[in-house]
Structure 1
Amino acid sequence: MTMPEIAAKAVPDDAYLLDVRELDEWRAGHAPEAAHIPLNDLQQRVGEVPQGQPIYVICRVGGRSAHATAWLNHVGWEAVNVDGGMQSWAAAGRPMVSETGQPPYVA
């Protein structure tokens, strides 16, 4: 089975974006509307992820989000991996915010 993937620049503006990076990475810079559930917490917190709509999963470069996407699809969600992760998101000029008071960056 192939992994559903999408380029960062092609993620719809109104998409449900799930960021599976660690807290320090999230705080440094993330998409403004993203939900944050670290990969290690996803199985316990999957009930927070809506069903019946595509879930766009993102991490730093795409590895952790690929694992999350595969697992979500396996357990009944409709998940799509964001190819290249937050590095591609930032390179595409997509909006970012930080939780630190500093300019956002991809940690």
Structure 2
Amino acid sequence: MGLFGNLFKKKFETVSPARAKEMQLDGALLVDVRESHEYKSGHAAGAKHIPLGSVQNRLSDLPLEREILVICQSGARSAQAAAFLAGKGYKVTNVSGGTANWRRQGLSMSK
């Protein structure tokens, strides 16, 4: 069931890493919800780090007027974050396959 349970039923879109990168270049904020050690081992270039367990306490770090892209390692934790954020009124999109898929598609990474 996950950290946020079944309380948030709002829908969100899921896009490929390539599409997410295009959206990021168009102004969307990419948020990596993995744990600190995962983020530090390599993350999508330009991603803001907010661990999944901190999302609900860091809403002030996420602009309501801006598209939010969420990414994790495989897409599961980011889907939880996306559902939560959608329930809070954010325009949010999940990145399919997470950082693993981002890397496989040859998109830019940072450490």
> Superposition RMSD on alpha carbons, in Å?
1.2
Q: Which residue of the partner structure matches residue 60 of structure 2? A: 47
Seq. identity, %: 38
Describe how 1:1-107 pairs up with structure 2 within 5 A.
2-11=11-20, 12=22, 13-14=24-25, 15-98=28-111
Query: Which runs of at least 4 in structure 1 moved beyond 2 Å after TM superposition?
Result: none
> Per-residue deviation at 1:3?
3.5
- How far apart, in 2, do the equivalents of 1:3 and 1:78 lie? 8
Runs of 5+ unmatched residues, structure 1? 99-107
- The CA deviation string for residues 69-97 of structure 1, in whole angstroms up to 9 with x for no partner, is 00000011110000100011001111001
- The CA deviation string for residues 19-76 of structure 1, in whole angstroms up to 9 with x for no partner, is 0000000000012211000000010011101111210000000000000000000011
**TM-score of the superposition, structure 1-length normalised?**
0.86
**TM-score of the superposition, structure 2-length normalised?**
0.83
> Per-residue deviation at 1:10?
1.1
8 Å CA contact 2:39–2:49 kept in 1: the answer is yes
